[in-house]
Chain A
């Protein structure tokens, strides 16, 4: 352990460079609702923090103190705030700060403050490009982390005119889905990229985009049919582009039936069949087909939809029996 590291192990009360500061102890009254319990290290750090907040000090040692406090308690939002203001007051290198944050972010992936602090830094630094790689690194640790995905969406929105930033995004999201087709966050992000952020140059041919997305989604459904995220995405494409669900009737039907041992492997981009080993029938396919029948509106179709909902309520998706029975009642009422 070198001298610097040794210094960090000392309480602030023991460090000569802090001897000019009078620490302020925490609010004294202890109540059974919130008794005072502390480790000496935490008490020490917070006592000194209170002192510099009171005096309004902005200095390098304040950066040192807030860093240690954040490492002790990453959710201490007041410490984060004071640190940020200190960085600005000292005109410190925000790039250096960002690098420090790279280390802390992985450690404290589920803490709101770590991500907000980063947004503030990038807003000032205006260097979004390296963030993409950083986000990917975080996702490798926790592929569905809500903060991480939300941060990526923020980054792309904030720098929406940066074509370089956006250039590799479709490939990125294709890879993430390829790694785990069941990652709902990834499918949501794809929607955000393709439909949620306006029309980017090169994507003006919306019909081509829709065709591409339908093929992509159907292929992924074919690989792993029991994946609600992909089915929700399929609905999303059709809803956003005001296309009827019946466009997918031929595609959906094989997924609503038990596995056919006589199925021949065919390559049909428009209607990829369920892959071998898929668990059939697929609940989401049955739901989808029922919706197609219901939307057709005539009595025959509605009764077909009712049959499908009955199979869900009584056999394939019994946990949602009450929901399917409601759909049946509602549809029958409208049919009369």
Chain B
């Protein structure tokens, strides 16, 4: 069953009801993502113009309850160790909720900067796993806090350069396969650091255009299945490269819309599958970038409201498609 429009009120309700999950075990198994999930929910609400649907005070309290005072960062859940992924989400949420005054900025900056490795990439935490996703989290967070000078920008850029593959794409670490999500974090980081020259823009934008399948959906690497979340990873990278018009946006829009749950709300990875807040966030984000009517503008570099990022003086030279009239 295909749905012609984005059912905003239903998706808002879906996000509001997330905490009332009946599936206790699922709730547990996703505790390591909880703070990220709150960010995904909030970002989706902002795109849909319903930021107020979740209580601001409660959200800020939850964020602060994830503060790991020993490390000086945020964990994914109370009692979880600080990690860059959750720290980034925490900072994004606090910025979106205008609550940066709650943050011990010097301490968190110290936590973030301390995770940079000699090679320029970042570890996620003291466990030591490295990934270009963590590099993006560091660059994103530090730039939101106006503290990019606390990291070695040159080394980070060089690390990204070494992650560039023969197909123009980027992987999770040096030598790893090109993958759209990793392309986003590398291109996003380069955009923030004003080093998009590291991209081979022609080859990369071709590779990104090749992600679109006949169904209209986008995949993450050649010969894999299309998935709604790639709507964001691929589109944001193209938007940053000013090549968003390469995509067949009509077909992409109908693909994303067909992945909605018409009864309970939310968006899934592809039509017919179970919905989750991750795909709801990135589905609506993708729709916003291609100009779907009735949505707020999104900054593809930060995946946060465009107006807010612009007000902070952080807007880069990306281009989204013009918003259609509804």
Contacts and interface: CB of A to CB of B under 8 A. Distances in A.
Interface string A125-168: 00000000000000000001010011001100100000000000
B24 A27 contact: no
A110 interface: no
A24 B178 CA distance: 44
Contacts of A73: 28-29, 31-32
B58 A31 contact: yes
Contacts of A29: 61, 65
Contact of B32 (A39, A77, A182): A77
A309 interface: no
B223 A183 contact: yes
Given A73-B31, A319-B213, A120 B128 contact: yes
B238 to A, nearest CB: 10
B221 interface: yes
A76 interface: yes
A10 interface: no
A177 to B, nearest CB: 13
Interface stretch (B151-159, B245-253, B296-304): B245-253
B222 interface: yes
A26 interface: yes
A37 B166 contact: no
B227 to A, nearest CB: 13
Given A31-B58, A77-B32, A112-B129, A322 B248 contact: yes
A266 interface: no
A183 B224 CA distance: 9
Contacts of B167: 232, 235-236
A185 B178 CA distance: 9
A116 B128 contact: yes
A296 to B, nearest CB: 17
B276 interface: no
A72 B251 CA distance: 41
Contact of B75 (A31, A78, A150, A182): A78
A33 interface: yes
Interface string A167-206: 0000000000000001111001101100111000000000
Question: How many interface residues does chain B have, given as a range?
Answer: 35 or more
A96 B139 CA distance: 39
B62 interface: yes
B176 A236 contact: no
A157 B200 CA distance: 25
Residue with the greatest number of chain B CB neighbours at <10 A, chosen from A80, A196, A229, A232: A232
A67 B138 CA distance: 31
Interface string B208-233: 01101110100001111000000000
A78 B246 CA distance: 43
A320 interface: yes
A129 B128 CA distance: 23
Contact of B34 (A34, A78, A146, A228): A34
A37 B18 CA distance: 12
A154 B248 contact: no
A81 to B, nearest CB: 4
A26 B78 contact: yes
Interface stretch (B79-87, B260-268, B280-288): B79-87
A118 to B, nearest CB: 11
B127 A32 contact: no
A33 B19 contact: yes
A7 B127 CA distance: 31
Contacts of A76: 31-32, 80
A116 B253 CA distance: 37
B248 A77 contact: no
A239 interface: yes
Given A33-B54, A33-B58, A320-B248, A77 B28 contact: no
Nearest to B177: A188
Nearest to A181: B223
Nearest to A28: B78
B8 to A, nearest CB: 21
Contacts of A326: 245-246
10 nearest A-B pairs in the assembled complex, by CB-CB distance: A236-B166, A27-B78, A116-B129, A188-B177, A323-B246, A153-B175, A184-B222, A37-B24, A75-B32, A78-B81
Interface of A: 26-27, 29, 31-35, 37-39, 42, 46, 50, 72-73, 75-78, 80-81, 84, 112-113, 116, 120, 144, 146, 149-150, 153-154, 157, 182-185, 188-189, 191-192, 195-197, 227-229, 232, 235-236, 239-240, 319-323, 326
26 contacts: A26-B79, A32-B58, A33-B19, A33-B58, A34-B34, A34-B78, A37-B27, A39-B25, A42-B25, A77-B83, A78-B75, A81-B126, A112-B129, A153-B176, A157-B174, A183-B223, A188-B177, A188-B178, A191-B165, A192-B175, A196-B175, A228-B223, A232-B222, A320-B210, A321-B248, A323-B206
